[in-house]
Amino acid sequence: MFGPGSQFDEFFNDPRWALAMVRATVLEAAHPQIGAALIDNSTFVAHPWRRLRNTFLSLQRMFGADDHVRQREAARLNRLHARLNGTDPQGRSYDAMSPDVRAWVVATLFESTVTMCRLSGRPLEQHAMERLYTEFQAFLAAMGDEDGHLPPTVQEFWQYYDRVVEEELENTEAMHIVLYKLFDHLPAPPLLNGLPTLWGAGRVVAGPVIGAITVASLPEPFRRRAGLPELPGAQTLMQGAYLAAGLARFLPGGRTHAGAIADLLFLSPDSDDPRARTITALRDKVSRAAALVRLVTPLPAEPEPAPEGRTLRSAEEFFTQVLDQTGNGYLDWPDLAAMARELSSRLDLDEPEETRLYNAFADWWRELQAAVDADGDGRISAHEYAVAAPSMAGPALIRVAEVLFDVTDKDGNQTIDDDEYRALFRTAFHRDTTGVGTAYTRSAFIKDFLSFMTGRRRTTPYDPLLAQA
């Protein structure tokens, strides 16, 4: 069912699966409950690469060979989903723990994988399809869901799938963001950060193409009902893209291995990873090419990276890049919950440490509401924050720093050593802790954290942790 030799393991490293996962995400976002949860709680708009990395790691854990790792990840996901509930703008409730909602997420993954094979000219044989379906059923069972929310057989699955598509899916805001906004405004991954012109040139072409391919691959009844326009030639473009991605599987040397690609994509040039030196050298050469692109390509101006030595940014920048984790223009509880979720994921926390960190952020939110929410609307605008920024470091924020130190200090010796430091700041170090022979003390840690959260400093480890896209 899981690990090497499974159908999922084979498809996980298939380049076509990237296209299939975009399609599955759109079908998930079209479900009204999932779409509402994404809009209210997800960081996929403001921090898409971080969200992709976390999803990638979660799938690796759930479909890997280690049953203990799978059980821990399932428990973590269940705790995460239990915190995601609310009401959409139409007054309808949503709950990420709903068995029907969770079944639909798994259904989109399975159906999009089957569709991926068909569109690339190599449809799955019946026995392979049934085996893959059994693996996805096992995934749902590993999450603790009871049988019955997914049909027992593949034959019955297609009736279920058609019914949900025709009766339940809607033209949601989240779906439109994925199709028409996300790729058009997708920030550069850490690997290409600092090359806005080159990234912008590629995005201008790739964004609309990915959107057109995804729309063309959606079920025709839903596409028509949702009023999604299919561009002329989109079907041919879609089939060509799937065929080309399929051919990429035959590249030598495991160059399409998902893990290797993800490691490279999320590698920051500021990291102390040895590969970063090679990346830095390549970036110098690419910068020269970007200068040429800038001369010949009419792109809108994009902000350049902060000059070396610049440590401060405006309150508005800090609000947008760090505090507004969901990207809706306001600071409210889902933004701080997203910070707690990211920190818990980085540190791979179990209970009770995870709840302890969430509770510290919840206390900070209550403190912020009382001190900063001037109009009492339950959320904090960028203007309200800018006015009150100097008074941000109240007792509750200090408590957040203390709890974060405690859960990072795994051995409880009141210092954070190199390994513990890496666990928290592993995606991009702004200082090399290898072999320095000194420990990060509680007071220094708390001072740095508060300096970041109130002084809006760029050159601390917390910037890539909480501001990186």
Amino acid residing at 384:
E
Give the DSSP H or E segment for 254. none
Count CA within 13 A, CB hemisphere, residue 1.
Answer: 14
What CA–CA distances, in Å, run from 229 to 179, 218, 223?
Answer: 11, 11, 8
Residue with tokens 């399932």: 74
d(CA 46, CA 39) in angstroms, rounded, equals 11
244: pLDDT confidence band, cut at 50, 70 and 90? confident
More confident of the two residues 275 and 141: 141
| Relative orientation angle of helices 333-347 and 67-82, to the nearest 10 degrees | 170
Peptide bond into 208 cis (omega under 30): no
DSSP label at residue 269: T
d(CA 43, CA 465) in angstroms, rounded, equals 13
Average pLDDT, the chain: 83
Q: Decide: 273 and 254 in contact? Cβ < 8 Å.
A: no
More confident of the two residues 431 and 415: 415
Q: Looking at the chain, which residues constitute the CATH 1.10.238.10 domain(s)?
A: 315-466
Q: Which of these ranges, 1-5, 256-260, 316-320, 379-383, has the smallest mean pLDDT? A: 256-260
Q: What is the pLDDT of residue 433?
A: 43
Structure tokens at 352: 């009770």
Q: Which CATH architecture has domain 315-466?
A: Orthogonal Bundle (1.10)
Q: What is the pLDDT of residue 282?
A: 59
Angle at 80 between CA 395 and CA 151, to 5 degrees: 170
Complete DSSP assignment for 83-131: T-EEE-TTS-EEETT-HHHHHHHHHHHHHHHHHHHHHTT-PPPHHHHHH
Q: Is the pLDDT of residue 428 over 60?
A: no
11: pLDDT confidence band, cut at 50, 70 and 90? confident
Q: Which residues have CB under 8 Å from 377's CB, separation 6+?
A: none
Instruction: Write the pLDDT tens digit of every residue in 94-114.
Output: 999 999 999 999 999 999 999
